[in-house]
Structure 1
Amino acid sequence: MRLLALKIDVDTFRGTRVGVPRLVEALQRHKANATFLWSLGPDHTGRAIKRVFRPGFMKKVSRTSVVEHYGIKTLMYGTLLPGPDIGKRCAELMRSVAAAGFENGIHTWDHIRWQDGVAGADEAWTRAELNKAAERFNSIFGEPATTHGAAGWQMNEHAYRYEQHMGLRYAADTRGTHPFWPVVKGELVRCVQLPGTLPTLDELLGVDGLNADNVHEHILRMTEDTQPYGHVFTLHAELEGMKLLPTFERLLAGWIEQGYQLVSCGDLYGTLDPTKLPYHHVEMTEIPGRSGVLAMQGAVFP
């Protein structure tokens, strides 16, 4: 059985209100499952402006039309405009996604605060951010979250350790090739990682002639061969749920034609025998098409 798990990162208020319903409709039409990872606190997208000093950031912005995808208003949240509380204002919509049968998990409390701050944060800061998200998730869905997927694939050792403390079923904080037990600074963390195995659309668009009309062909070539543990593809409500929805639907149709069953990350995890998964170091490193460093599956341990 060929499995491909869809992980949907919901970063913004606009992405939640507009992109998510469109994705739900498209997934249902293609009889596909997915995992929705929610930003549960304030939308402070505008504060990302400080990333202009990060190497590679402006190049990525110019390739991916950030203003077009996110909208001017969203890009002012947290600076010129107050950031709307996504969890408070969109709780009913989130519950409707769960009622439709999709898996739900924690993406973050404040997307920009986590993505830009967690790498250098201490244990108290990290626990506070995760606790705020976990408490809001529980208040919306009436049950604890069982998974977390880090904003921007940004983590620190305290976050991995606290995921174990939270009793998560699995986490999806990294990029890599196959599921693994993470080893962080020599410490074995008992929370399986399901890494993203494929590049995201925003990493590919504008590179080597790839555009919204042909990028799906590039990704489909990457999924032609069967992988022992399947694939995990990360998409964003702000991109694939809006302007890039036709591109995403071409991907869905292509994967179905290739014989994939499109599942949630939880479904994919359910097929694994955790006792047989390897241990891998986690490293922070660069990948093509994305500015800065992110959490990657590293060498086998020991």
Structure 2
Amino acid sequence: MARIALKVDVDTLRGTREGVPKLLSMLEAAQAQATFLFSLGPDHTGWALRRVFRPGFLKKVSRTSVVSNYGLRTLMYGVLLPGPDIGRKGAAQMRAARAAGHECGIHTWDHVYWQDNVRERDAAWTRRQMQQAFARYTEVFGEAPATHGAAGWQMNEDAFRQIDDWGMAYASDGRGTAPYIPTIGGVPCRHVQMPTTLPTLDELIGTDGLAEDNVHTALLKLTEGPRDHVFTLHTELEGGKLAPVFERLLAGWRAQGHELVSMAAWYRGLERSGLPQLPVTWGEIPGRSGELIIQPPVR
């Protein structure tokens, strides 16, 4: 039986308070497990408006309803309204995800700040951001996190080293086709990267005739057959306006015979001997603006 690991990125306070409970209900109904990765510090979603001059950003925004997905108030955080502390205000919903039996981990401290800066920042900045998230996670859950999934699939070499220093066995910080061991300067890391293998809904909607009523069919075509996958969803999307799409995906994956699991379960069933060792690499993918961490081809 093929497996699909459901990786849930939680970016905002609204996504934490409203999207998490909605997704928990859908996952319970589908008897599916997932990994929830939380943004644990301030919500500065409004800062993302500065990306307007980034190549491809306006094209992506024009395909998706940003205001209806995120809410006008969220888009004002950090601009006209102070950024609320997600880890303080959304702790109950975070703990509810774990209480429902789902794996939980770190997404980031400050989502937009990390996504827009980490590539060019030094080790001190990187580790300070990550340690703030680690400390808040431990405060909320009373234990250390087991895994990490980078905001916007943005990392630097020091961030990969920090994952090793935390002793995490696996993480999902980029995009790719299959698990691998990242290398830095030719030296392999000690953890396994399990990249997101499927396109996200916001990357597909508005392209090639795909809309909210039929985008699930395109994704289901990609999951035909026995291959394992990692699918990234967002509480602000699949836990909001795109909830009906996600319900159709869950039903379709069940009909295809897939087991819907957390990253932890996916890792436990992984044959880790012989995984390729591949350098940390940046590149572009269809439907998303800017570069992000991608899996290079095996030579």
Do both proteins adopt the same fold according to a TM-score greater than 0.5, normalized to the shorter chain? yes
Spell out, residue by residue over 1:136-167, the C-alpha distance to the aligned partner (whole angstroms, 9 max, x if none): 00011111011000000000011001110111
SS in 1 for 2:226: coil
- Amino acid in structure 2 at the alignment position of 1:286: E
Spell out, residue by residue over 1:195-240, the C-alpha distance to the aligned partner (whole angstroms, 9 max, x if none): 000000000000011000000000000000211xx10000000000
* Aligned counterpart, 1:256: 254
Q: Distance in 1 between matches of 2:96 and 2:19?
A: 14
1:281/1:300 contact within 8 Å kept: no
1:26/1:249 contact within 8 Å kept: yes
Within 5 A, what are the aligned runs for 1:79-158? 79-158=79-158
> Could you tell me which of 292, 296, 301 is aligned with 2:290?
292
SS in 2 for 1:216: helix
Q: Distance in 2 between matches of 1:45 and 1:240?
A: 18
Q: Distance in 2 between matches of 1:273 and 1:59?
A: 40
Q: Distance in 1 between matches of 2:276 and 2:213?
A: 38
SS in 2 for 1:73: helix
Runs of 4+ with >6 A deviation: none
- Amino acid in structure 1 at the alignment position of 2:246: F
Spell out, residue by residue over 1:35-65, the C-alpha distance to the aligned partner (whole angstroms, 9 max, x if none): 0000000000000111001000011001011
- Amino acid in structure 1 at the alignment position of 2:106: I
- Amino acid in structure 2 at the alignment position of 1:200: T
**Residue 176 in structure 1 maps to residue 176 in structure 2:** yes
Q: Distance in 1 between matches of 2:121 and 2:240?
A: 33
2:35/2:105 contact within 8 Å kept: yes
Q: Distance in 2 between matches of 1:235 and 1:58?
A: 21
Spell out, residue by residue over 1:50-94, the C-alpha distance to the aligned partner (whole angstroms, 9 max, x if none): 100100001100101111100110000011000110001111221
- Amino acid in structure 1 at the alignment position of 2:213: D
SS in 1 for 2:294: strand
* Aligned counterpart, 1:269: 267
* Aligned counterpart, 2:236: 238
**Residue 71 in structure 1 maps to residue 68 in structure 2:** no
Aligned alpha-carbon RMSD (Å): 0.9
Spell out, residue by residue over 1:158-201, the C-alpha distance to the aligned partner (whole angstroms, 9 max, x if none): 10011101111211001111111112343311110010000000
Q: Which runs of 5+ in 1 are unaligned?
A: none
2:107/2:148 contact within 8 Å kept: yes
Within 5 A, what are the aligned runs for 1:45-56? 45-56=45-56
Q: Which runs of 5+ in 2 are unaligned?
A: none
TM-score normalised by structure 2 residue count: 0.98
TM-score normalised by structure 1 residue count: 0.97
* Aligned counterpart, 2:225: 225
**Residue 216 in structure 1 maps to residue 185 in structure 2:** no
* Aligned counterpart, 1:11: 11
Matched residue count = 299
Q: Distance in 2 between matches of 1:185 and 1:149?
A: 22
**Residue 27 in structure 1 maps to residue 27 in structure 2:** yes
More deviation in 269-278 or 257-266? 269-278
